[in-house]
Amino acid sequence: MREFSNLIGGEPRGTDRMLDSVDPATGTVWARIPRSTADDADAAVAAARAAFPAWSAMPAAGRAHVLRKVAGVFAANARELAELETRDNGRIITETSKRDVPGMTYLWQLAAAECAAAVEGKTVILGPGSMGFTRRVPYGVVVGIIPWNSPISTFSAKAAFALAAGNTVVIKPAEQATASTLRLGELLREVFPPGVLNIVSGLGEEVGDALVRHPGVNRISLTGSTETAKLITRASTDALKPLAFELGGKSPNIVFADADLDRAALGVTTQSIFTANAGQVCVAGSRILIQRPIFDEMIDRMTAIARGIRLGDPLSEETTMGPIVSAEQFQRVTGYLEIGAKEGAELVFGGRSGGEIVDEAYAGGYWVEPTLFTTEDNGLRVCQEEIFGPVAVALPFDTEEEVVAIANDSAYGLAAGVWTRDLGRAHRMCRDVEAGTVWVNTFRKMPPGLPFEGLKDSGYGHDSVLANTREKSCIIET
């Protein structure tokens, strides 16, 4: 049984109140994390505010040097961090060790390279003896609230760019998967000056609420649910603060008849929904829109791929899909299996859940089979509501105009996929589909050099160096 501590002011800070961390593959407690209080939140913000003047005044090259050290920490501890994340949230080891952690080494290096952008401005000659110029200045204390489905990568996206811009940071991880983030706090304690990076774990309604209401916080960035974003918006109104929300989605994944069907079949199954963290990703392509002439063929291809998905020990390289993260999320996902059936959607494959679909050693875990429904009614709840699990719905369409209408008939607008060989059609889909990111002949490719931003109920704003600064105008008469 491992126990972890908060990082506040450069020091580990424990508490008498602890929360259990449950291994979702077995349903057993494996670690304990702090159940922090409003006092802990206040201490973290105070430490960040105290550290801000020196950190923000440090030359950009100095901050870049520190961030490159962080990249080195990720590289040196990659396997341990990957295994911790897999143990904590069930994300299979082939994802955490080959995609998440190595990618974050690059992200911190990129943030270091972009430190200079935080101190650049422009000059405007206003007239004889008169000039204006802009400075980019950090906000101050930035709070990053991160989700349970990908803690290491969202921790990095929120902390690295905010720190590169000269802000100090308080990170609040999700209570369902906190261990890897707290372990990062231990590893990074000696890298940053005290108070520059703080990590406080606990329940959202306790420590999270205290952070977003805190008058000493200057910017809030959340990756999470639309409901949480609405709560934060209401809670932060007493002290107006810039907010950035990367929220949920119900991403359409569109397959045209001219597509490479082998590639598309993988793209709408293992690449986008079923094996990627058991469908627990905000961009999951959970609405699969298939042109009618190839509908039956695509369903057959998807079914064959689903039969080869292997559930089991998330730490095994042989496993291709892990469990649902928690008992609460398991109940939510299995509830949608019942909803789909009651609504009249046709079950193509999957639909089973619980310990009987895995080896006996993991019978206590939270398991749901890859599941596909078909329907022609995009108004069903399984088509409109975010399930956040390995459950998808396939719908047929005939024309470009029809599929754009179906794709945009959603409260969400985070991402979309398009599979076609027609370059003109690809550009039209990129233009017409209402999504912050549109992938063509690929899915879930999110390079740090491009903004990742939603619209509608999928949020607004994103995490970058420039997004973590504000422009200040100066006018000088000589």
CB 24 within 8 A of CB 322: yes
Q: Are strands 141-145 and 130-138 parallel, antiparallel or unpaired?
A: unpaired
**Whole-angstrom distance, CA of residue 163 vs CA of residue 173:** 17
Entry field: residues in the chain: 478
Question: CB 135: neighbour CB atoms within 10 A?
Answer: 14
| Residues in CB range of 68: below 8 A, 6 or more apart | 108, 109, 112
**Whole-angstrom distance, CA of residue 176 vs CA of residue 19:** 9
Structure tokens at 459: 């949020």
* CA quadruple 65, 4, 214, 244: dihedral sign: positive
- CA distances to 315, 391, 407, 455, 458 from 384, in Å: 33, 13, 11, 16, 13
3-state SS of 261-285? HHHHHHHCCCCCCCCCHHHCCCCCC
Catalytic position from the list 95, 246, 369, 453? 246
Radius of gyration of the chain (CA): 23
Tokens 């991402």, located at residue:
415
How does 353-379 read in b/e, with b if 16+ C-beta sit within 10 Å? Answer: bebeebeeebebbbbbbbbbbbbeebe
- CA distances to 202, 319, 359, 390, 416 from 253, in Å: 36, 25, 32, 15, 6
Structure tokens at 122: 């422009």
Half-sphere exposure for 110 (CA within 13 Å, toward CB): 17
246 catalytic? Reply is: yes
**Whole-angstrom distance, CA of residue 72 vs CA of residue 10:** 19
Measure CA 327 to chain center: 20
Residue 455's DSSP bridge partners are 413
Which residues are known to be catalytic? 246
